[in-house]
Amino acid sequence: MTALRRASTTPPVPDPVPRIAAAAARTRQLAVAGIYRAGSGHPGGSLSCADLLAALYTTELNIPGGAATDPTRDRFVLSKGHAAPALYAAWAAAGYVSDEIPLALRRINTKAQGHPHVLDMPLSETSTGSLGQGFSAAIGMALGLRHQYIDARVYTLLGDGECQEGEIWEGAMCAAHHGLSNLCAIVDYNKLQSDDRNANIMGLEPFAAKWRAFGWNALEIDGHDIKAILAALTTAAETPDQPTMIIAHTLKGKGVSYMEDQALWHGSVKMKPDETRHALTELGASQSDIDLWMTP
Identify the pLDDT of residue 267. 83
Identify the pLDDT of residue 5. 45
Write phi, then psi, for 39 (nearest 5 degrees): 80, 10
Residue 277 lies in a domain: yes
Please provide the average confidence, as pLDDT, over all residues in the chain. Answer: 94
**Model's pTM, two decimal places?**
0.94
| Helix, strand, coil percent values for the chain (each to nearest 5) | 45, 10, 45
Residue 10 lies in a domain: no
Residue 3 lies in a domain: no
Tally of domains in the chain: 1
Residue 228 lies in a domain: yes
Residue 5 lies in a domain: no
pLDDT tens for each residue of 136-169: 999 999 999 999 999 999 999 999 999 999 999 9
CA 55 vs CA 66, 151, 291, 294: distances in Å: 16, 21, 28, 28
Give yes or no for a cis peptide into 206 (omega within 30° of 0).
yes
Percent of the chain with pLDDT over 70: 96
How confident is the model over 73-101, as a mean pLDDT?
Answer: 97
Gap between the Cα atoms of 120 and 88, Å rounded: 12
Residue 1 lies in a domain: no
Residue 258 lies in a domain: yes
Q: Is the pLDDT of residue 10 over 70?
A: no
Gap between the Cα atoms of 27 and 86, Å rounded: 6
Q: Are strands 75-78 and 217-222 parallel, antiparallel or unpaired?
A: unpaired
Identify the pLDDT of residue 3. 45
HSE toward the beta carbon, residue 67, CA cutoff 13 A: 3
Q: Are strands 154-159 and 183-189 parallel, antiparallel or unpaired?
A: parallel
How confident is the model over 193-204, as a mean pLDDT?
Answer: 93
Residue 270 lies in domain: 18-293
**Among candidate residues 145, 12, 133, the one with its CA nearest the CA of residue 79:** 133
First to last CA, the chain: 74
Residue 7 lies in a domain: no
Gap between the Cα atoms of 40 and 43, Å rounded: 9
How confident is the model over 23-50, as a mean pLDDT?
Answer: 97
E strand or H helix at 185:
strand 183-189
Report DSSP letters for 41-82, one per residue. Answer: --HHHHHHTHHHHHHIIIII---GGGSTT-TTS-EEEESSGG
Gap between the Cα atoms of 276 and 256, Å rounded: 10
| CATH number for the domain that contains residue 41 | 3.40.50.970
Identify the pLDDT of residue 228. 98
Residue 276 near residue 36 (C-beta atoms within 8 A): yes
Identify the pLDDT of residue 66. 79
Gap between the Cα atoms of 157 and 135, Å rounded: 8
